[in-house]
A and B are shown apart, each in its own frame.
Chain A
Amino acid sequence: MSNIIELKKVNKWFDKFQVLKDIDLEVKTQEKIVICGPSGSGKSTLIRCINRLENHQEGKIIVDNTEISEDTKNIEIIRAEVGMVFQQFNLFPHLSILDNCTLAPIWVKKLSKKKAEELAMENLRRVQIEDQALKFPGQLSGGQQQRAAIARALCMEPKIMLFDEPTSALDPEMIKEVLDVMVDLAKGGMTMIVVTHEMGFAKEVADNMIFMDEGRIVEKAKTKDFFDNPKSDRTKLFLSQIL
């Protein structure tokens, strides 16, 4: 299968501090990758570079055969194909859950209102909150909000989904309901890059694991090898601490 995302020698600095160092990464269609690592290791920055919420200074990022750089004219077109789920949900608080889900399909993908609402209800049913469609984000629990955020991203019918620590801001009992939705999504064949510390989830769905530390990819391996037989000492230390 072809690579849908390719990163070659990507470097990024925040002022003088280098957050990403020579990142090489290839993601195939339908591949699921879980990125883990200590905080400040550049995991979030890495996936935020993929839809250019952050810009990189050196190297190449190619998403769906389009190179992303300062010259990319229609970065919005790439972003519409890459769904993203955030740690803090980032639902639009002034819009109902349904409007959250239909806004971008109507105004970016130019769907008719009726079509967009059908699509939204379908995705809300998929994440099992169709009965909350007319409520506002502030009236939902954290787990429901995060599922709504996943539904909102899915309504753009993206080719790739990026998850930036989707369960880190949730109460323990709500983590499972969000992970269930993500497992379901993975089984449906979505290409996914997930930054998370949920190792149970990683073992269940990931094809490949990536361990990052201090802006570098320290280890990239098949999931089974990664957990059973990690090569670098840094990975061993990290795994011993969180497992």
Chain B
Amino acid sequence: MNLIILKPNKENLHSYLALGICLLSIGFLDIFSSIFLNLNITFFLPSVISYLSPLILSALGLHFIRIEYSGNKTLDKINKNLNSSNFNAIMSLIVIFVLIKYVPPLLNWTFFDANFLGNTKEDCTGEGACWVFVKVWFNRFMYGMYPNVEQWRINISFLILLCSIFSIFILPQKYKKYIILFLLFIFPVIALNLISGGILGLKWIETGAWGGLSLTFIVSAFALIFCFPIGVFLALGRRSDLPAIKYSSIGFIELWRGVPLITVLFMSAVMFPMFLPDGTYMDKLMRVIIAITLFEAAYMAEVVRGGLQALPRGQYDAAKSLGMGYWRMHFFIILPQALKLVIPGIANTFLALVKDTPLIFVVGLLELAGMIGLAKTNPKWLGMAAEGYVFAAFVFWVICFTMSRYSQNLEKKLSTER
């Protein structure tokens, strides 16, 4: 008879609700007081039970308010999403308690106790993050060692890039392909010449001085643009009927996939110049970009090959039966479908590529993370590693999240199957 009290029902909705909310409140009061006031209100209980008391009390509370179809919308929603069974209730509570315990200190460190004003390390109190560090070094984080007076050249390049990308979204379909062609073939030349200079009276700035976030963008952009077509050709090559093409593709892919990127970069910087004929010189940045491009192209090839293999043979048959040759069949029929299938994989490879760029520090090129590594060793700014790397993480996250969202939109836009 007594057990009936433990089975909440709709008839006694209000009494169960009152009891449940009461227990829940005590549970939360307990956890708040122990986290924020350092006060254990259940000190009189044995230590283990006292430690678990918030969880036990709240779980009991949730048990009492678990009444199906109570008619109360808020209650039903809570029961459905957080409190569908005892196990789920305990899981929900643990997650909530962990958030209560760890989110406020994180917010305190990042915002409330952080220092934003000032110009030196001494302006920071040391309780929270010292964003002064990021503020003072911001210019270097963006442009590396690029001379301040010449930075407008980088700004203009990125402005052109942003404008063209923006215009792709607003211009009608007819002009889009011209913008894309411009971005792929003309813009890189303009940007490279503008940034490196040496023509039209622009001061020559060697690539060793390039750095920071702009270098991250430059390396990623070039590697992205080139690794994609190379990857597609390698994937087609690997499926070719011609043994020479097939086995050289397999060889290339397996060679580059089997080597760590850091070794590839090191080889490109140190070993590669030895193989060049005397008197020829290839820029270090160029070598690095080529190395990253070929490395990621091998991965891209395997991603694309996955898509090619997923297509039914009927698509090949149909294209052939209409008289299409190899290239037409692949360009119009096979690749559009295969690439659409592997957009998630392509996005994955692109994200990995962007996040691999910091490795170019091994050849002495300092993009965003590299610049931060340099700045944190500055004697005036010792001990700022956390702020620097949190900033780097945030910037990389924004870039990668944008790309990821874009790939999801693309997937949605291109899906023609219901």
B is bound to A: yes
Which residues of A come within 8 Å of B, CB atoms? 48, 51, 53, 76-77, 79-84, 86, 88, 90-94, 103-104, 107-109, 136, 138-139, 149, 152-153, 156
In the complex, the answer to whether A152 meets B322 with C-beta atoms within 8 Å is yes
Across-interface contacts of A53 in B (CB, < 8 A)? 317, 320-321
Query: Does B412 sit at the interface, judged by CB under 8 A?
Result: no
B254 to chain A, nearest CB (A): 28
Across-interface contacts of B317 in A (CB, < 8 A)? 48, 53, 84, 86, 90
In the complex, the answer to whether A90 meets B318 with C-beta atoms within 8 Å is yes
In the complex, the answer to whether A94 meets B336 with C-beta atoms within 8 Å is yes
Across-interface contacts of B312 in A (CB, < 8 A)? 88, 90
Question: In whole angstroms, what is the CA distance A155 to B337 when docked?
Answer: 23
Known pairs A91-B318, A93-B337; A77 contacts B417 (CB<8 A) = no
In the complex, the answer to whether B318 meets A108 with C-beta atoms within 8 Å is no
Known pairs A76-B325, A108-B328, A139-B418; A94 contacts B320 (CB<8 A) = no
Question: In whole angstroms, what is the CA distance A109 to B323 when docked?
Answer: 9
Known pairs A93-B337, A94-B336, A94-B340; A136 contacts B323 (CB<8 A) = no
Question: In whole angstroms, what is the CA distance A76 to B321 when docked?
Answer: 8
Which residue of A48, A79, A138 has the most chain B CB atoms within 10 A of its CB atom? Answer: A79
In the complex, the answer to whether A93 meets B314 with C-beta atoms within 8 Å is no
A161 to chain B, nearest CB (A): 11
A109 to chain B, nearest CB (A): 8
A52 to chain B, nearest CB (A): 8
Query: Does B374 sit at the interface, judged by CB under 8 A?
Result: no
Question: In whole angstroms, what is the CA distance A77 to B321 when docked?
Answer: 10
Query: Does B315 sit at the interface, judged by CB under 8 A?
Result: yes
Known pairs A86-B318, A88-B314; A94 contacts B337 (CB<8 A) = yes
Q: Which residue of A lies closest to B314 (CB)?
A: A90
Across-interface contacts of A82 in B (CB, < 8 A)? 321
Q: How many B residues have CB within 8 A of the partner chain?
A: 22
Query: Does B179 sit at the interface, judged by CB under 8 A?
Result: no
In the complex, the answer to whether B322 meets A108 with C-beta atoms within 8 Å is yes
Query: Does B333 sit at the interface, judged by CB under 8 A?
Result: yes
Q: Which residue of B lies closest to A54 (CB)?
A: B317
Q: Which 4 pairs, one residue from A and one from B, show the smallest C-beta to C-beta distance?
A: A80-B323, A90-B318, A104-B322, A90-B314
B262 to chain A, nearest CB (A): 39
B311 to chain A, nearest CB (A): 10
Query: Does B394 sit at the interface, judged by CB under 8 A?
Result: no
Q: Which residue of A lies closest to B340 (CB)?
A: A94
In the complex, the answer to whether A77 meets B332 with C-beta atoms within 8 Å is no
Across-interface contacts of A92 in B (CB, < 8 A)? 315, 318-319, 333, 337
Across-interface contacts of B81 in A (CB, < 8 A)? none
Question: In whole angstroms, what is the CA distance A53 to B321 when docked?
Answer: 8
In the complex, the answer to whether B416 meets A107 with C-beta atoms within 8 Å is no
Question: In whole angstroms, what is the CA distance A82 to B337 when docked?
Answer: 25
